Amino acid sequence: MKKLIIIITLVVIAIIAFIYTFWPQERAITTKFFVNESGITDKNFMQFIKENPRVSVFYFCSKNNDNCDYINNTVLKNLAENLLVTELDFIYYVDLSAASTTAAAKFNRQWGFTQYPAFAIIDSSVDPYVIVSSLGFVHETPFNSDDVKNWLIKNNIWQELPQIKNH
């Protein structure tokens, strides 16, 4: 009887070890961003533009927003593939993950859009900085890569890129 209990115990331990070894483990999902991740947030945005006085394109989003996932994994990926690059380094990602979701008035005043994901072209070579143009996401009519590309062309950003002057 003792031998049977020992055998059953060993079998149970082996089964538990087998289950534990092959049980799916949670893994952090790493997202490949297709824009310049310079660590800009809504908190340090003003410091960034003061230290980088020029016309820049910013992509405002939150890493925990489904619409931002769509823009990154579809729109920005398509634009990068169109340019034959792995990163659209001329577009700076501004992480709004810590920003209040009800900050529409602040967003509009500071960056020219009321909801994100959004893009804005900002000229910080002048003081105070100037919002040249912005493109905000509307859930009912989301923009696609052609919309963003046309917006960049309209604002004389796209053709300034050396990779595409021959296209």
Number of domains in the chain: 1
Q: Which of 161, 33, 154, 149 is nearest to 94 (CA)?
A: 33
- In tens, the pLDDT along 150-166 reads 999 999 988 655 554 44
Q: What is the pLDDT of residue 27?
A: 47
- Determine, yes or no, domain membership for 52: yes
DSSP H or E stretch at residue 59: strand 55-61
- In tens, the pLDDT along 51-74 reads 999 999 999 998 888 888 889 999
The parent domain of residue 46 ranges over: 35-162
3-class secondary structure, 122:
strand
- Determine, yes or no, domain membership for 28: no
Q: What is the CATH number of the domain that holds 91?
A: 3.40.30.10
- Determine, yes or no, domain membership for 17: no
